[in-house]
Amino acid sequence: MNAALQHPKPAAERALSYYSASLNEETHYPTLQGEVNVDIAIIGGGFTGVATAVELAERGYKVAIVETNKVGWGASGRNGGQVTGSLSGDAAMSKQMRQWLGDDVDDFIWHLRWRGHDIIRNRVEKYGIQCDLKFGHLHAAMKPAHMDELKASHEEAQRRGMGDQVTLLDAAGVRANQGSDIYCGALRNTRNMHLHPLNLCIGEAKAAESLGALIFEHSEVLDIVHGERPAVVTAKGRINASQVLLAGDVYHKLERKQLKGMIFPAMGGIVTTAPLGELAQQINPHDLAVYDCRFVLDYYRLTGDGRLLFGGGANYSGRDSRDIAGELRPCIERTFPQLKGVQIDFQWSCAMGIVMNRIPQLGKLSQNVWYCQGYSGHGVATTHIMGEIMAEAMSGSLEKFDTFARCKHIKVPLGDLFGNPMLAAGMWYYQMMEKLR
């Protein structure tokens, strides 16, 4: 591991990653003890919980976030940091929502796809959050068949007045943007962004705190008490509230009767190399985040201190890989032969919540207890979109929430047993289909 990182020591309870080793500042919040009264209690200190808390606190609500581990401990603090204009499940969403939105569905989804970018950009600016926010993505084609998808995205962007922010590149165009020969084309998008997700999550929690929100760490919620004034209960305390939001994504085991079999873990692995010095400029001169068009894809970008952060190959069996660097090194060296033998300083993995039809799951467990989860690997922007939608809903504007809550989801019977094997089989099928494309 590189000794040059001069950052505060991460708390021992944080999973070791490049992100936890390069925190701006470690924060410590108390364990919940005794009884607390607030307007809204939020379970989970990831982007869903924290972004919703900021929205609600800005609207004047007294909010409390309750987190089992530390703020940003889950996928929000360990992901690829790519802010994409995809909600995951766009196609399934469009098919279902067309039944109640008619042709307005196309505008609804298009505007929503970019809403998360605006929220993040404005929040970073408003609260002065240092999170290495940068603009620019390449969505890269690995074979000619992938170009159809990119051409369709390019045409849609032009039709929607976003033509100045997208450029379709051929193989030579990609090489001018990227020190790699493996792509036959790409869509360059200057609206998409990339960032240090843990610094963003902690920065947003601090923003919520500055607006009066209470934050409790090391406080696993063991039960939700439903009723006129619901409550969340931990081993040492209880929060009574007017409303509760369950935002634990794939990590919570609450409300099994209603939520069992709806969301499944896939393990994603990421590595970062040692700082690359001048090589960083050679392999990625415009500091773009890159992801390819395959169903199980590689994605990468440079960190603020010039390392290659490279992720890929999610494991849909739900089991963790023990040798992430061993799995990802061949992918790095195939993409950038000039990095052969490069030193890998950090490797980590994390579970992301996958939903069968890929549509984010928003709903109510009782009159005043809500849930929001399941972004299937596209959560950085989407959590912020859903945070806004949930805050609107909890303050009485239900229109967008209802649009999502009406979507039908596949609930796998005996989900704990069969969910991941089904997911793995589905992924295998899609990978086979892709090979035939």
Ligand X SMILES: Cc1cc2nc3c(=O)[nH]c(=O)nc-3n(C[C@H](O)[C@H](O)[C@H](O)COP(=O)(O)OP(=O)(O)OC[C@H]3O[C@@H](n4cnc5c(N)ncnc54)[C@H](O)[C@@H]3O)c2cc1C
Q: Which two tokens stand for residue 272?
A: 């970062």
Region binding ligand X by CB under 6 A among candidate stretches 34-42, 379-387, 389-397, 428-436 = 379-387
In the complex, the smallest distance separating the C-beta of residue 61 from ligand X, rounded to whole angstroms, is 19
Between the two ends of the chain, the Cα-to-Cα distance in Å is 41
85 binds ligand X (CB under 6 A): no
| Contact pattern from residue 262 through residue 301 relative to ligand X, giving x for each residue in contact according to CB under 6 A and a dash for the rest | ------x-x-------------------------------
45 binds ligand X (CB under 6 A): yes
Region binding ligand X by CB under 6 A among candidate stretches 42-50, 158-166, 237-245, 423-431 = 42-50
Q: Rounded to whole angstroms, how far apart are CA atoms 189 and 157?
A: 10
Closest CA to 52 of 170, 204, 215: 204
67 binds ligand X (CB under 6 A): yes
Of 288, 308, 328, 350, which lies in the binding site for ligand X, with binding defined by CB under 6 A? 350
Nearer to ligand X among residue 282 and residue 317 (C-beta): 317
Contact by Cβ (8 Å): 144, 184: yes
74 binds ligand X (CB under 6 A): yes
Nearer to ligand X among residue 315 and residue 403 (C-beta): 315
Q: 130: burial class by Cβ within 10 Å (0-12, 13-18, 19+)?
A: middle
Q: Which two tokens stand for residue 173?
A: 């165009």
Distance of CA 253 to the CA centre of its chain: 20
Of 22, 52, 69, 272, which lies in the binding site for ligand X, with binding defined by CB under 6 A? 69
> Which positions from 298 through 327 interact with ligand X, judged by CB under 6 A?
311
Q: 414: burial class by Cβ within 10 Å (0-12, 13-18, 19+)?
A: exposed
Which residues does 40 contact at the CB level (< 8 Å), separation at least 6?
56, 61, 62, 63, 64, 241, 242, 243, 244, 245, 394
Beta partners for 264?
354
Of 135, 371, 375, 404, which lies in the binding site for ligand X, with binding defined by CB under 6 A? 375
360 binds ligand X (CB under 6 A): no
> Interface with ligand X by CB under 6 A: which residues?
43-49, 66-69, 73-76, 78-82, 84, 220-221, 247-249, 251-252, 254, 268, 270, 311, 350-352, 373, 375, 377-381, 383
